[in-house]
Every structure is written in structure tokens, then in C-alpha cells.
Amino acid sequence: MSLLIDLVKNIKGKTTDKVSVDTYNARVSECYSCPSLLITGNCKICGCFVKDKAKYLGESCPDAKW
């Protein structure tokens, strides 16, 4: 299992480290005010599920909002 976790951490240099609760809330708030957010909770630009993507330190908004 540890090997799998290490592999996931190294995909495209991404990390599984999470942001603080305040940062997460700010990111999600920004997404929910964005016209690119679909009713499904996915970003129209990159297709991510924003509540998931906003959790991770190595992630960023495709529209450079966070």
C-alpha cells in the first residue's frame, strides 16, 4: 500500500498534502462564485470536482483564481 501512496504522490509532481481548513473554504467559496462552476459541482474549464481538488496543496485553479 505504501508503494501505491508514493506513486500517487509523484504523479505529475502532485502531492497528497492538504491545505488548511481556511484555505479550503476560501478556494471553494471562490469556485462557487465562478461562472465556470457547473450544477454538478464540476469545473467547466478543467472538469474537476471542485470540492475534491480544493483540498490539495499542489492543485490550482485553471483560471488562476486560487
Answer whether residue 66 shows pLDDT above 90.
yes
- H/E element, 52: helix 50-53
In a domain, 64, yes or no: no
Predicted confidence at residue 38, as pLDDT, reads 97
Dihedrals φ, ψ of 18, to 5°? -105, 155
Residue 16 banded pLDDT, cuts 50, 70, 90: confident
In a domain, 8, yes or no: no
Average pLDDT, the chain: 88
Cβ count near 6 (within 10 Å): 10
In a domain, 3, yes or no: no
| Overall number of domains in the chain | 1
**Would you state the cell numbers that stand for residue 45, as one nine-digit string?**
474549464
In a domain, 66, yes or no: no
Q: What range defines the domain where residue 27 resides? A: 19-55
User: Over the stretch 37-47, which tens digit does the pLDDT of each residue have?
Assistant: 999 999 999 99
In a domain, 41, yes or no: yes
